[in-house]
A = this chain, B = another copy of it.
């Protein structure tokens, strides 16, 4: 007799561990004998999907002859995808087709002609690590649930702290994005300034203010809003003027933190950390370095000077999912002090962080976190680091920056292209000036017309699918392109292609 209830399959489930006895047990009309999950069918489905993933999401996605994206408008795509969720399920073959379609109409961020964001390229070791983590579903609250990944996170954090130059170590945590890391920093800086705020809130506290460069990531303002600091209490300075700002500090307000950016989002610029650290030390301010983007330079003997002084920071945000190509997301928040991450965030939930466990509970790192369930993101960096070694990570960074330098030189050579500034990092910002605007003198008329050029070229490149490069205005500067060079798959030929293609798409404008 058997009670196999596998609705997705017609053959009996033969899991010998679940041998079914003959007396049926029914509660609330549900038969509870045997399993209702058809494991062999599930394995077969996963097996088939793997072939599709390798073919479409790896091979084709990284093939330069294929499109970066197959543009469809929202309305067209809704119709193609049949998004509605219904009462009845669909066959496995139908679901496999849905997988193919989802891949087909997605942007291929691993494609060698994707230069649109601060991440790009395919990293096979990190990808495999992320598949393993997805299959195992660890959550990093406690050592008992995630022993391997807890230790790996610790090892990666330690190595990153070594590169920052914290000789006595520190503490840290991987979390769901650089924005969250900046939020952690602000919370720790505040806790360091006034630990009572954790319990009593800000309503009785004096007005806290912080300083950052104008070029900082928008998450600094978001965090100030969320933390009840208020966006108006974030004083933005032009890099070198930080000293002035601190001196001109507003009456009745208490500065608690300076945010320096190592590698800004648009320009790839670096704040002078040493100078800022001097001021922070003098005024006893928490120094946070947002090195989400520029932290990668710490891997390179040639370029780490960009972050000179970072060892003096109280905290650092650094995203290996950007230039170092770990799979999305892989974001470390690091703090020099060894206790405040725990003290500031702990809530001591007794159902997770029992004190009477049989192992060393200092390995239960979850109480340091703002999240409860938390993914094994460090593993995605660890496995690739093991495979490549620090030396190849260094080579990749050096090559990306050399490639950006090549592109900048080409832009200077080519008619119709104008560099916004000499690149400090791998961001190359430039205008394309179509022949029709060639003879216009610098001034409002040129700027106004130039402002409309990049959006049209972007539309055309998306619809062609030949490449993806971002654009934006900046201060009073009209829309310009921002190229981001990361992937080791990319060559000088791709740089040449980008410029040729922009000219091809925009020469009639």
Contact = CB atoms under 8 A, between A and B. Distances in A.
B321 A373 contact: yes
Nearest to A47: B54
B490 A35 contact: yes
A200 B125 contact: no
Interface string A361-405: 001000000111111000100110111111110011011011101
A136 B109 contact: yes
Interface string A40-57: 001101110110011001
Contact of A370 (B179, B205, B321, B452): B179
A439 B392 CA distance: 67
A149 B74 CA distance: 11
Interface residues of A, number: 206
Contacts of A350: 472-474
B491 A402 contact: no
A95 to B, nearest CB: 5
Contacts of A238: none
B491 A35 contact: yes
Contact of A357 (B197, B386, B455): B455
A92 interface: yes
A176 B179 contact: no
Interface in A118-142: 119, 121-122, 124-125, 127-132, 134-139
A214 interface: no
Contact of A65 (B17, B122, B138, B228): B17
Contacts of A305: none
A507 B95 CA distance: 49
Given A27-B406, A131-B134, A373-B321, A390 B86 contact: yes
A348 to B, nearest CB: 8
Contacts of A207: 201, 203-204
A125 B351 contact: no
A283 interface: no
A43 B59 contact: yes
Question: Which residue, of A106, A116, A149, has the highest number of chain B Cβ atoms within 10 A?
Answer: A106
Given A84-B155, A87-B391, A370-B222, A108 B134 contact: no
Interface stretch (A97-105, A239-247, A416-424): A97-105
B392 A65 contact: no
A114 to B, nearest CB: 9
B136 A402 contact: no
A87 B390 contact: yes
Nearest to A121: B37
A61 to B, nearest CB: 7
Nearest to A196: B230
A359 B201 contact: no
A64 B232 contact: no
A448 to B, nearest CB: 13
Contacts of A426: none
A438 B15 CA distance: 37
A373 B329 contact: yes
Given A106-B147, A401-B28, A489-B35, A230 B389 contact: no
Given A42-B124, A145-B116, A351-B265, A176 B371 contact: yes
Interface string A2-30: 00000110000001111111000101111
A2 to B, nearest CB: 12
A164 to B, nearest CB: 14
Contacts of A119: 137, 139, 373
A447 B312 CA distance: 52
B77 A383 contact: no
A79 to B, nearest CB: 10
A208 interface: yes
B62 A54 contact: no
Contacts of A203: 202-203, 205-208, 230
B92 A372 contact: no
Contacts of A74: 143, 147, 151, 359-360, 363
Question: Which residue, of A37, A383, A396, has the highest number of chain B Cβ atoms within 10 A?
Answer: A37
Contacts of A250: none
A483 B355 CA distance: 20
Nearest to A472: B351
A78 interface: yes
A378 to B, nearest CB: 11
Contacts of A25: 406, 492
Interface in A215-269: 217-219, 221-222, 224-233, 265-266
Contacts of A29: 402
B122 A61 contact: no
B455 A107 contact: no
A-B residue pairs, 9 tightest by C-beta: A201-B230, A228-B228, A17-B64, A176-B176, A89-B389, A42-B124, A83-B155, A202-B202, A202-B228
